[in-house]
Amino acid sequence: MNVRYASLARVFTHSQPICRTPRACIVAKWLRRRGLSTAPSAQPEAVPLRKHLKEEAKKKKAQNKSNGKVQEHSEPSKWELTVGIEIHAELNTACKLFSSAPASVEDGEDAANSRVALFDAALPGTQPQFQRATLLPALRAAIALGCEVQGKSGWDRKHYFHWDQPNGYQITQYYDPFAKCGTLALTAEDGVPSSDLNGAESLNIGIKQIQMEQDTAKTTSHPPSSYHIDLNRAGHPLIEIITLPHIHSPQTAAAVVRKVQAVLKSVDACVTGMELGGLRADVNVSIRERGTSGLSSYSGVSGLGQRTEIKNLSSFKAVEDAIVAERDRQISVLESGGAIEGETRGWTLGATETTRLRGKEGEVDYRYMPDADLPPLFIGKDLVEHLRTTLPELPNETVERVQRQYGLSLKDAKTIVSLDDGDRLEFMEETVEVLKGGLSGSDQIKLGKTVGNWVLHELGGLISDESRSWDEMPVTTQELADLIRNLQQKQITARVAKHLLAILHDTSSSIKRPSVEQLTVDGNLRLRPLSEDEYEALAKEIMDENPEMVAAVKDKGQKGKAMWFVGQMVRRGEEGTVEPEKAKQVVEQLLSGPGIV
């Protein structure tokens, strides 16, 4: 393999073989004299990997259907799954872990190798300089996850050779991490199945330790045989969160990663999640027969089966699917009389099985040793206490506050808190504040519930239809507040309010936008309610035309169909004249009386 250097970029290029015409051997001459060809058989056309995976999945699905049901292991309940997770998260810092090079991309400066200090490139004679500011987001993460912050921790070298690690080793905290013994509490709302909760309200997953460490460089492939190395990411500060093997289902494993990501974002420890590559997970999977005790143990948890590790999972679905595939593979091996090997395996999106990458490395393979260039890390109790008292609101606390303060259901509260990194919740709260100032005697709980529904369902539906992100939302909090105020003061109907919201959403924010009042006046959309007699006349007209619907309500007791008449009244009435609430009252009164047959 040839290595080319371009500035700080490293390009790995496999040398091309020299083509030579081989001399004909005696066997080949003997075959040719007898009319037998020695030419290689025609190779089939290469099939792209993604297409191949799709075709294999279709074949397996069709085979399962032909057998009448999806194939399952004969006795799945006799096996117990155990999972531990290692989560690597990029810290939200301005500089790298051991150099002053910027860790974040600045506008217009995202070129390869544009953010590299001498130490990041492992130039001879350079030494690491711990950047104290990188400790703050790491401490916030440890406190939020209930860990015990250690007063003294140390740095170790994890040795391995690969082009993405210029020094030939990674600086980490293997023996003396800065935080230990945390707990993550999960509930059914987090995605934990009832079988794991076993009747309890919550499930506690132990966190063995959290350690700081360096990230590696980024490798990009340039077919057929070149690889470019970008050192911008090399040395970026990470935390590695290591859970205990307390997880017993793929769903709970995915819930753990989701919950950790939400906690890290809430305390500003990690600004990007799995969807942007800021968080990655490795899962350790083992299987044992229920009622028996395995030979392996880990951090005080004994009786486990032989574990395998699946590396670099970059989505919640990948975590769940990879565990399912590896669980099924291990069960098949054990049921056929085989033994599970300790190894590192890989997972590809759309695959049905994990693949072997290499034998499992251990402490001896990495030759862990204390880093001689870095002194121990001392953390004062006063700093920890200050961060604890100033810690931002955690996701569970935010959900409880939103339920209590704005009257949202648990489901809606969890949804609005989790969406768009909190931007949608902030939009809702700002709208409520605007409305409180414009409505006398306003009830915050009632307002919060109304605004929450509009933000989640009406604005959320418009965004989903357009496939836009919340950052591109053109509707302002003032505009939404004006719509809801006019609706509550019965200046417009709900149908008109939704129509005006769609107009505002489709109007570019770069041009002069019409106000809600202007749109209402220009469109002659102000509510002009019908009189009592006009409501009754319209309802009777529709009922006379649809006697079968009247019979369904009066004779068959299908009360729900009364709302069909309300919908028809809203459609037939001139825009801004029929209020659904009033129409419902009139319809129910007529259908309960003797005059309509």
Domains in the chain, number = 3
Instruction: Output the average pLDDT for the chain.
Output: 84
pLDDT in tens, 301-349: 888 999 999 999 999 999 999 999 999 999 999 999 999 999 999 999 8
Does 224 sit behind a cis peptide bond, omega within 30 degrees of 0 on the bond before it? yes
Structure tokens belonging to residue 403? 């339920």
pTM above 0.75, yes or no: no
Residues 350, 425 within the same domain = no
Does residue 17 form part of some domain? no
Residue 361 pLDDT > 50 = yes
> pLDDT value at position 437?
75
pLDDT in tens, 160-194: 888 899 999 999 999 999 999 999 999 998 999 99
Phi and psi angles of residue 582, each rounded to the nearest 5 degrees, phi first: -65, -40
Distances (CA, A) of 396 to 39, 215, 401, 414: 69, 30, 9, 9
Residue 213 pLDDT > 80 = yes
Residues 255, 361 within the same domain = yes
Residues 295, 438 within the same domain = no
CB 262 within 8 A of CB 396: no
Which residue, of 377, 401, 428, is where some domain finishes? 377
Residues 136, 275 within the same domain = yes
Average pLDDT over residues 363-378: 91
Which residue, of 327, 346, 377, is where some domain finishes? 377
Does residue 185 form part of some domain? yes
Q: Residue 367: left (phi > 0), alpha (psi -120 to 50), or beta?
A: left
Residue 44 pLDDT > 60 = no
Does residue 527 form part of some domain? no
Residues 85, 159 within the same domain = yes
Model confidence at 464, pLDDT cuts 50, 70, 90, reads: confident
Q: What SS3 class is residue 294?
A: coil
Does residue 489 form part of some domain? yes
> pLDDT value at position 41?
42
CB 596 within 8 A of CB 540: yes
Residues 286, 310 within the same domain = yes
Which residue, of 316, 348, 377, is where some domain finishes? 377
Residues 142, 254 within the same domain = yes
What distance in Å separates the CA atoms of residue 215 and residue 237, rounded to the nearest whole number? Answer: 6
Residue 373 pLDDT > 50 = yes
Residues 136, 246 within the same domain = yes
Q: What SS3 class is residue 210?
A: strand
Alpha carbon distance, N-terminus to C-terminus of the chain: 91
Q: What SS3 class is residue 597?
A: coil
Model confidence at 75, pLDDT cuts 50, 70, 90, reads: very low
Does residue 388 form part of some domain? no
Does residue 232 form part of some domain? no
User: 510-533 burial string, b = 16+ CB within 10 Å, else e?
Assistant: eeebbebeebbeeeebebeebeee
Residues 137, 270 within the same domain = yes
> pLDDT value at position 521?
86
Residue 7 pLDDT > 90 = no
Residues 425, 350 within the same domain = no
pLDDT in tens, 90-108: 999 999 999 999 987 554 4
Does residue 220 form part of some domain? no
Residues 314, 399 within the same domain = no
Residues 198, 347 within the same domain = yes
What distance in Å separates the CA atoms of residue 166 and residue 119, rounded to the nearest whole number? Answer: 9
pLDDT in tens, 469-504: 788 889 999 999 999 999 888 888 888 899 999 999
Model confidence at 596, pLDDT cuts 50, 70, 90, reads: low
Does residue 418 form part of some domain? yes
User: 391-418 burial string, b = 16+ CB within 10 Å, else e?
Assistant: beebbbebbeebbeebbbeeebbbbbbb
Instruction: List the domain range (segments joined by +) for residue 436.
Output: 393-522
| DSSP H helical ranges for 376-459 | 381-389, 395-406, 410-418, 423-438, 444-453
